[in-house]
Chains A and B, each alone.
Chain A
Amino acid sequence: MQRLFVIAALLSAACAAQGASPTTSTQPANTYQVAVTMFKFQPAKLQIPAGATVTWTNHDEEPHTVTSAGDGFKSSPALDTGDHYSAVFTRPGTYAYYCSVHPQMTGTIVVR
């Protein structure tokens, strides 16, 4: 029974990654990771070059979101445990975001 749940979680993570951005797997060198752990985005502030992809992964039991503060990029749907979400940042600028379920969780992407 336990194994079934593990497989289901992996499948849902795979689906989420596929749905979010196809560039994640083809350009791993240009992808930056943000962990969502213990109600925090880690790192909370991330600098990336223009054109890079950011992939968030939720490691918490609680669902979280990556919600753009000001529509700077497309916000995520609810991310369950193990789900990924990716966004490509093409234009230089500062992109603030938060979790809509837990708004004390905030992060920033700085695109150079």
Chain B
Amino acid sequence: MKDDRDDMQPDRRRFLECMAWAGAGTLWLMHGGVAHAGALLKDATAQNATFGFVQISDSHIGFHKAPNPDPVASLRQSIALVNAQPKRPDFVVHTGDLSHLSKPEQFDTVAELLKEARTGQVFYIPGEHDVIGDDGKAFFARFGGGVDGNGWYSFDHHGVHFVALVNVRHLQGAGLGFLGPDQLAWLKQDLAGLSASTPIVVFAHMPMWSLYPAWGWGTQDSAQALSLLKRFGSVTVLNGHIHQIQQKIEGNVTFHTARSTAYPQPAPGVGPAPGPLQDLPAGKLHEYIGVRDVRHVRGSGTLAITEHTLV
């Protein structure tokens, strides 16, 4: 993907349809809901950030096959990458699929490894691989049950309102995410007191837009959540699940899916089913996995998003 997009026509429809793999080190700046890409180190916005945080996703501890028989090692490398950042991130968020099979020892491994991250706090939300067999009971007991033990929660940080949603319980149709009426009612209440100028960042595991419903890459009732977010001037939705970078802009809402720290998945609809992309060229795995760095500049309405691969 070309770095300099300043000359790009604001053809929003075309941009919405542009779902491409992003390269390493791309910096995404959002101005009034339109993303611009630039080079990371040259950009003053990133350097002047008031705070930053890191998104880690889909570590799939317990996976043990091609193309990554050792996702513990690649998660450890991802954390080393976080620790090598010039500015310490205020927190790390893991957007789900910590484990491959919801096993206690897999949760323990992730928690232990993330203790090595040099950051203030680690936030977690579950992926569908974390709630297998018990509807998330073990996950919520281990990583916090949020509001009423249901897993969702929100918090404020330097004027930004963060909302962590759970859309991996009671999956619908072809495995589509589902928020449910209780969570939507809570979200409505949670956002009610905020001014429209409050920047909102939403975390969820599954995409909050219909990225590829035939593979369950979407959330059945996401439109109801987005209608509650419509009045805000800047909304950024960060999710995982599909193990590759995709972006979409809808009004003032910008959606970003993240890479996995374990293995990539095929592009939407390429091949018979989602799953690990096994036939990577030898030695290329680390170009497909990594972490995301997000920096916020107070007052500018801008979030700078940087993708880091493990090479």
- Chain A residues in contact with chain B, CB under 8 A? 1, 5, 8, 38-39, 60-63, 65, 75-78, 80-81, 100-104
Contact = CB atoms under 8 A, between A and B. Distances in A.
Nearest to A81: B65
A106 B134 CA distance: 19
Contacts, number: 60
Contact of A78 (B101, B174, B272, B276): B101
A76 B256 CA distance: 34
A80 B101 contact: yes
A38 B128 CA distance: 18
Interface residues of B, number: 24
Q: Which secondary structure dominates chain B's binding surface?
A: loop
Contacts of A38: 272-273
B272 A63 contact: no
B210 to A, nearest CB: 16
Contact of B171 (A1, A5, A101): A101
B9 to A, nearest CB: 39
B98 to A, nearest CB: 13
Given A61-B65, A62-B273, 4 more contacts: A1-B69, A63-B129, A76-B133, A100-B132
Contact of B133 (A8, A60, A78): A78
Contacts of A75: 133
Given A5-B69, A78-B102, A80-B101, A101 B173 contact: no
